[in-house]
């Protein structure tokens, strides 16, 4: 455990920091480090609000292991062809929804701005993260992260994690 009996305030600090680091690794294109923020048998889902609220499975991205996250990144680097772009995540405050033992459930609003080589910045994707964060180890890790996006038209394509 990180802390013997972490206060709600301390838990919020830890989980907020994890989300901030998550965004930083993606935005700074340190994608190879991004899977390290997840436990090995994690679940990572990027799904439209339209499907999520209907309890439908179809997700833009659905990975149920850290290996699949790594495969996504290797594919991005070596296989996929896409317009050159950068993300900028703008995160809202992380709210503690509940804690059970060493597992914290949190929710965080996000917006991802995209800048392409023509210099224009657009709101590429906005939504909320529904997270389960494992606090049993030396540092907090995502057990599950679901990005539920409101932006129901994916502009051109989606290659980078949200």
Partner 1 sequence: MTDTALPDENTSRTANGTGRRVPYRVFTDPEYHAREQEKIFQGEAWSFVALEAEVPEAGDFKSTFIGETPVIVTRAADGAVHVVVNRCAHRGALVCRELRGNRPNLECVYHQWAYDLAGNLIGVPFRRGLKGQGGMPGDFDMKQHGLKQLRVGIVGGLVFASFSQSVVPLNDFLGPLVVEHIKRIMHKPIKVLGDQRQYVHGNWKLYAENTRDPYHASLLHLFHNTFGLYRSTQTGKSLMDSEKRHSLLYSIAASNDDAADKQAYGDSRTFDTEFKLQDMSLLKGRQEFDDGITLVILAVFPNLVLQQIQNTLAVRQIVPKGQEAFELVWTHFGYADDDAEMQAIRRKQTNLIGPAGLISMEDGEAVEIVQNAIVGEQQATSFIAMGGGRAEDADHLVTEGAIVGFWDSYEKLVGFGTAR
Which C-beta is closer to partner 1: that of 23 or that of 162?
Answer: 162
User: Of residues 1, 82, 90, 150, which one binds partner 1 by CB under 8 A?
Assistant: 82
Among 18, 37, 38, 48, binds partner 1 (CB under 8 A): 48
Segment contacting partner 1 by CB under 8 A, of 13-21, 23-31, 61-69, 98-106: 61-69
Stretch that binds partner 1, among 3-11, 18-26, 46-54, 91-99 (CB under 8 A): 46-54
Contact characters 121-140, partner 1, x per CB under 8 A = --------------------
Query: Which residue in 83, 92, 93, 137 binds partner 1 (CB under 8 A)?
Result: 83
Kindly state whether residue 63 participates in binding partner 1, applying the rule CB under 8 A.
Answer: yes
CA distance 117 to 136: 42
HEC string of 136-147 equals: CCCCCEEEEEEE
Name the residue among 73, 132, 127 with its Cα closest to residue 101.
Answer: 132
Q: From residue 2 to residue 41, what is the string marking binding to partner 1 with x (rule CB under 8 A)?
A: ----------------------------------------
Contacts of 19 (CB under 8 A, 6+ apart): 91, 94, 106, 108, 129, 131
Nearer to partner 1 among residue 90 and residue 154 (C-beta) = 154
Question: Running DSSP on this structure, what letter comes out for residue 77?
Answer: H
79 binding partner 1? (CB under 8 A): yes
How far apart, in whole angstroms, are the C-alpha atoms of residue 7 and residue 13?
Answer: 10
d(CA 124, CA 116): 11
Alpha-carbon distances, residue 131 vs 81, 103, 122, 136, 148 (angstroms): 30, 10, 26, 15, 11
Q: What is the CA angle 127-59-128, rounded to 5?
A: 15
- The residues of the shown chain that bind partner 1, judged by CB under 8 A, are 46, 48, 50-51, 54, 56-65, 67-68, 70-72, 74-75, 78-83, 152-159
């Amino acid at each position: 455990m990180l802390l013997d009996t972490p206060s709600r305030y301390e838990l919020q600090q830890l989980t907020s920091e994890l989300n901030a680091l998550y965004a930083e690794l993606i935005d700074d294109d340190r994608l190879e480090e991004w899977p390290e923020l997840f436990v090995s048998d994690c679940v990572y889902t990027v799904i439209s609000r339209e499907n999520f609220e209907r309890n439908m499975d179809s997700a833009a991205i659905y990975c149920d292991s850290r290996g699949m996250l790594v495969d996504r990144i290797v594919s991005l680097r070596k296989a996929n062809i896409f317009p050159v772009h950068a993300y900028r995540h703008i995160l809202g405050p992380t709210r503690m929804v509940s804690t059970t033992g060493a597992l914290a459930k949190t929710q965080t609003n996000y917006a991802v701005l995209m800048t392409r080589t023509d210099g224009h910045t657009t709101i590429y994707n906005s939504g909320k993260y529904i997270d389960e964060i494992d606090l049993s180890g030396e540092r907090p890790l995502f057990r599950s992260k679901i990005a539920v996006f409101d932006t129901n038209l994916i502009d051109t394509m989606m290659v980078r994690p949200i």
